[in-house]
Amino acid sequence: MTFDCLDEEVVASFWENLLGLGSRHRIGPYVFLTDPNGVGFGFQRVAAVTTGKIRVHLDIHADPLDAVIERALELGGSFARGYEDGGFLVMADPEGNEFCLLPGGEWRLDDDGIAHYPGSTAH
């Protein structure tokens, strides 16, 4: 997966630290991060980023949820929309690329797509 970025170093550093990806290398305007299995992300510098609803985003299993939220905020992330929409906790990286945090443990979706987390204060 490749992210378009105004500052590829800032966005790559956010994801590198949030996900703990170990291998980092640069080729021209790209920064690549990979895990030991070869799965990774690319970050490419662009003159302008596309705005509006994105069609692909990451769902990240976050356990413990509060610690991952705190880490994302420390790294420059922000809340995009919260559980008040009835869905998942949506956050954004420093350039606004959205991702969902899913708490560890049991959760389910109802027929309206609303997320429920039994026994959790997350929703």
Identify the CATH number of the domain in which residue 92 sits. 3.10.180.10
Q: Two tokens at 9?
A: 């170093």
* Contacts made by residues 17-26, CB under 8 angstroms, sequence distance 24+: 17/71, 17/75, 18/60, 18/68, 18/71, 18/72, 18/75, 18/77, 19/60
* Domain tally, the chain: 2
Span 2-57, pLDDT tens digits: 999 999 999 999 999 999 887 899 998 899 999 888 888 999 999 988 777 776 78
Higher pLDDT, 84 or 13: 13
Whether residues 22 and 58 share a domain: the answer is: no
40 with 81, same domain? no
Question: What pLDDT does 118 receive?
Answer: 66
CATH number at 22 reads: 3.30.720.120
CA distances from 5 to 10, 38, 44, 112 (A): 9, 22, 6, 34
Q: Are residues 38 and 91 in the same domain?
A: no
User: Is 50 exceeded by the pLDDT of residue 123?
Assistant: no
Together in a domain, 123 and 66:
yes
- Residues 102, 61, single domain; the answer is yes
Residues 37 and 84 in one domain: no
Q: Which domain holds residue 66?
A: 51-123
Q: What are 55-67's pLDDT values in tens digits? A: 678 889 888 888 9
Let me know whether 55 and 37 are in one domain: no
CA–CA separation, 48 vs 68, rounded Å? 29
Say if residue 67 is in the same domain as residue 28: no
So what's the pLDDT on residue 105? 77
Asked if residue 44 and residue 18 are part of one domain, the reply reads yes
